[in-house]
Structure 1
Amino acid sequence: MTKTFIKQNNLNLLLCLFAAFMAFPAWAQNPLIMDQFTADPTARVFNGRLYVFPSHDIVPPEGEGRAEWFNMADYHVFSSDNLTDWTDHGKILDQKDVSWADPEAYSMWAPDAVSKNGKYYFYFPTRIKGAGAGEKGFSIGVAIADKPDGPYTPQPNHIKGVEGIDPNVFIDKDGQAYLYWSRGEIYGVKLKDNMLELDSEIKTFEEIPQKGHIEGPFVFERNGTYYMTYPHVANNTERLEYGTSDNPMGPFRHKGVIMDESASGTWTNHHSIVNYKDQWYLFYHDNDLSPDFDKNRSIRADILFFEENGDIRKVIPTKRGIGTTSATAKIQIDRYSSKSNYGAASVFLDRLDPFKGWKVVLNKPNAWVRYNQVDLGIEGPGKVKIRARSLSGGAVALKLAGQDDRGFSEVTIQKGGEWDVFTAPVKNGATAVQDLIVQLISGDGVEVDWVQFEK
């Protein structure tokens, strides 16, 4: 572990302490959260709002945990009603709060949460006190709350009869709840109505591909078809796959790949699939904020589509992610939807502190980036501000996709190489939700941090 990430995590810990006392807004685009490491996101819709329950990668205190492995001591919950502005509701559970768990295991791995009987049930895996090494030392616990964001009260015992990790709970339309988990293979069982005890024999899903590491089941239903989805190391790293059935207990017929192996080489992926406001989304993770260490991960989301026959269309990861961005917000165009094949790139603002985010570098004539879904409002903006810099000076044009290459503003970036905010009037009455294009029109190179419109 490098000193850089230790320094970053110290800042992260301070922010988390603050979050314990009050909810505060987080980032948007991909990755969704920019002030801490997050992984294994389970997305759920409660009371018309989307909540994400991830695990929380940290750098453990010196002498604790495993420096070159996953270290997770607690859980946060995040929520949004527009998929753009995320609120961190703070820590909802710590390993030291669980009476049956090893308080120094740093193994609070991938969780899940569901609602039933007017209560919220948070399922989490961790190592049992006194357990030996390996996944046999893990079980799954439950914490209960009256609200999605807690506070959660952990139950005094883990679920009897369950050994393993990565709990997933699916509640069918008839109210029957099912628990799935993994330990080398994927298992499933019915739950009693109290959501705390098993109510059937445990089934091993042997029909799921057995070659290569497999974990992280997530089950959902659509149009009468049950989908079993899971990460699977078929080649080098985990990709997301799925099978379908007419029964939540299978058997599941293997159908294909939801998402290919990560281009970054991150060994794990862990996901959930949710329908929110009549659109399906895939939540997953990668190592955006920790490119040199894939045990510190960041949650992401992209739109997911189905074919007419019910097959899942493969999801291609994007920087842009999901949600509509207000034109009056600081538009992080480094999270672009697409870019020119030349002279455009997204790089860290500060390689030593990835939490500061990225910038766009435009260094070839006419190089451009496109940022989808910007809400310019009913009346449209009157001017634009750009945080940028250029050693030799230059200019960028702001354009709307599909409007005959006509720019609606041009911003001159003065030479000097220091970051500054440059402004310009907006020429035309650009309104409604549009795709924004930022294009270099003069100069040898311009770096752009963000774009923001004003009335």
Structure 2
Amino acid sequence: MDRNLLTAGLLLLSFSSVAQRPVIQTNFTPDPAPMVYDDTFYIYTGHDEDGEHNEFVMNEWRVYSSKDMVNWTDHGSPMSLDTFKWAEWGAWASQCVERDGKFFWYVCCVDKATHDMAIGVAVAESPTGPFMDAVGAPLVSGPGGYIDPTVFVEPNGDAWLYWGNPGLWCCKLNRDMVSYDRNFVITGSHVEKVADGVWKFIQNEDSFGGPEKLAEGKTFADYKDLYEEGPWFYRRNGLYILAYAAGGVPEHISYSVSDKPYGPWKYAGQIMPLQDMGSFTNHCGIADFKGNHYFIYHCGSLPGGSGFNRSTAIEQFDYNPDGTIPTIYPTKDGVEAVGTLDPYSRVEAETMAWSEGLKTEPNDQTGIYVSEIHDGDYLQVRSVDFGDKGADSVTVAVASALRGGAIDIYSGDCTGQLIASIKVSPTGGWEKWTTITARLTSSLTGIHNLSFCFRGKKGCKLFNFDYWKFNRK
């Protein structure tokens, strides 16, 4: 990421006004899919590789989590194309769901045997992996757009898999979540059978705002909406909801509803109208967390972003009194915190509310850490609760092969109250870690936002950063 693309004026803003769209700045994170588990909000994303592209360059999937919706921890890439020996290319959209204490991550990529897009599934014992191919082959595959899987498990145990571009397909998953009921039958004129247990929906203006095939002389603009791709399937108050990317390219987000999990569907309106966000696609997920409703989508708003370099963003919303979804517009401020960060427990450096100029890397022993730290880069965390007595020192874990540098910690932004200045000397290697403890120059009590601002020789990589921890008085 080009650090010069962020304006210098950003540092002059008070931290409370710093934008948090997108929520991840260290990597491009398209096609976000939320999952709430064990009091934690997870986002499973793709990864658009850095650089200017005229196609989707995607080789892995990534995981991020938060307990407060503002500070996000990078869990790296627990799954890639290498996870699926049958995959040829295209680590595209995905979704992870939990069932019976296991985590099933549904993905799409190209089947090297047929060169068709296919839906695969991997399984793990933890929401952050490692994930292993659960089948050893595609779960479903076929010509004509087998991409963008979405899965929903009902309270009664039924589980459904939807996918497709530009068509929309559905099957009923078995209890094992890695096979589907080939005897399942949907009746009605709204579907057609594709294979045993696999059904395709007939699209029209009543069901999805537009027909599957444009009539002669018609354009996308002639219809209210048109299902394109990226379905997101869930249930609320007894009604099944299917949100999707609509309208051809460029895309916006619309939705349809049904009183059955397999339709017929009734077009319900737009959720996020077409916006100028630097991306010609959109991909959404909707989830509840700590009493709030969240709409997750992607945009091209990160510096260096584009239609092929997309990033995850989140908006909070309230359902209308009649249960319908309101129109949601992108904001720059992001969402409010729903919790606080404990500075007296080890906090991974890759936990951030905002950053500039930084990347993250994995290590088998250390895990994920912050890298590519240069003079003027910084990371920020929000809603840090120091309590009534406060701290008197701070400990950081760092590694530097060459020059070292310094970490200045501020309350607020990098022009705020300086609370600690830590000198980082060379440690003999980029992954040769040492801990440094420094006394605080100012004590803090209560809740504060913090900025870790990095100093050193200009133009040089300074050090890597693993974790930080404040020590009580």
TM-score, structure 1 normalization: 0.64
Taking a change above 3 Å as real, the CA distance of residues 162 and 49 of structure 1, as seen in their structure-2 partners, is farther
Matches within 5 A, 1:40-59: 40-59=31-50
SS in 1 for 2:228: coil
Matches within 5 A, 1:288-303: 288-290=301-303, 293-303=306-316
Taking a change above 3 Å as real, the CA distance of residues 275 and 156 of structure 1, as seen in their structure-2 partners, is same
Q: Which amino acid aligns with 1:229?
A: A
Taking a change above 3 Å as real, the CA distance of residues 180 and 333 of structure 1, as seen in their structure-2 partners, is closer
Please state how far the C-alpha of 1:433 moved relative to its aligned partner: 10
| Match of residue 157, structure 1, among 91, 112, 137 | 137
TM-superposition CA deviations, 1:296-355 (whole Å, max 9, x none): 011011102111111101112111212328699998799xxxxxxxxxxxxxxxxxx9x9
Matches within 5 A, 1:32-431: 32-59=23-50, 67-102=53-88, 105=89, 107-132=90-115, 137-154=116-133, 155-160=135-140, 164-199=146-181, 200=184, 201-205=197-201, 206=203, 207-209=207-209, 210=211, 212=226, 214-233=228-247, 237-290=250-303, 293-324=306-337, 386-388=413-415
Name structure 2 gaps, 5 residues minimum.
6-17, 185-196, 212-219, 221-225, 344-351, 357-373, 391-409, 418-441, 450-472
Taking a change above 3 Å as real, the CA distance of residues 223 and 292 of structure 1, as seen in their structure-2 partners, is closer
Q: Which amino acid aligns with 2:40?
A: R
Q: Which moved more, 1:266-275 or 1:156-165?
A: 156-165
TM-superposition CA deviations, 1:417-448 (whole Å, max 9, x none): xxxxxxxx9xxxx98899xxxxxxxxxxxxxx
Taking a change above 3 Å as real, the CA distance of residues 286 and 57 of structure 1, as seen in their structure-2 partners, is same
Q: Which amino acid aligns with 1:29?
A: Q
- 2:411 and 2:448 in contact (8 A); partners too: no
For 1:117 and 1:287, how far apart are their aligned partners in 2? 36
Aligned-residue identity in percent: 28
Please state how far the C-alpha of 1:77 moved relative to its aligned partner: 0.9
- 1:281 and 1:304 in contact (8 A); partners too: yes
For 1:202 and 1:299, how far apart are their aligned partners in 2? 31
- 1:290 and 1:297 in contact (8 A); partners too: no
- 1:52 and 1:78 in contact (8 A); partners too: yes
- 1:243 and 1:254 in contact (8 A); partners too: yes
Relative CO higher for 1 or 2, CA cutoff 8 Å, sep ≥ 6?
A: 2
For 2:383 and 2:102, how far apart are their aligned partners in 1? 37
Please state how far the C-alpha of 1:101 moved relative to its aligned partner: 0.8
Name structure 1 gaps, 5 residues minimum.
9-26, 61-65, 335-352, 360-372, 389-397, 399-408, 410-424, 435-454
For 2:269 and 2:114, how far apart are their aligned partners in 1? 37
- 2:298 and 2:310 in contact (8 A); partners too: yes
For 1:357 and 1:268, how far apart are their aligned partners in 2? 30
SS in 1 for 2:82: helix
Please state how far the C-alpha of 1:263 moved relative to its aligned partner: 1.7
Please state how far the C-alpha of 1:384 moved relative to its aligned partner: 5.9
Taking a change above 3 Å as real, the CA distance of residues 167 and 193 of structure 1, as seen in their structure-2 partners, is same
Q: Which moved more, 1:88-97 or 1:177-186?
A: 88-97
Q: Which amino acid aligns with 1:120?
A: F
What root-mean-square deviation, in Å, do the aligned CA atoms of Structure 1 and Structure 2 show? 4.0
Match of 1:29 in 2: 20
Taking a change above 3 Å as real, the CA distance of residues 377 and 143 of structure 1, as seen in their structure-2 partners, is same
SS in 2 for 1:73: strand
Please state how far the C-alpha of 1:174 moved relative to its aligned partner: 0.6
- 2:228 and 2:245 in contact (8 A); partners too: yes
- 1:28 and 1:83 in contact (8 A); partners too: no
TM-score, structure 2 normalization: 0.62
Taking a change above 3 Å as real, the CA distance of residues 387 and 69 of structure 1, as seen in their structure-2 partners, is same
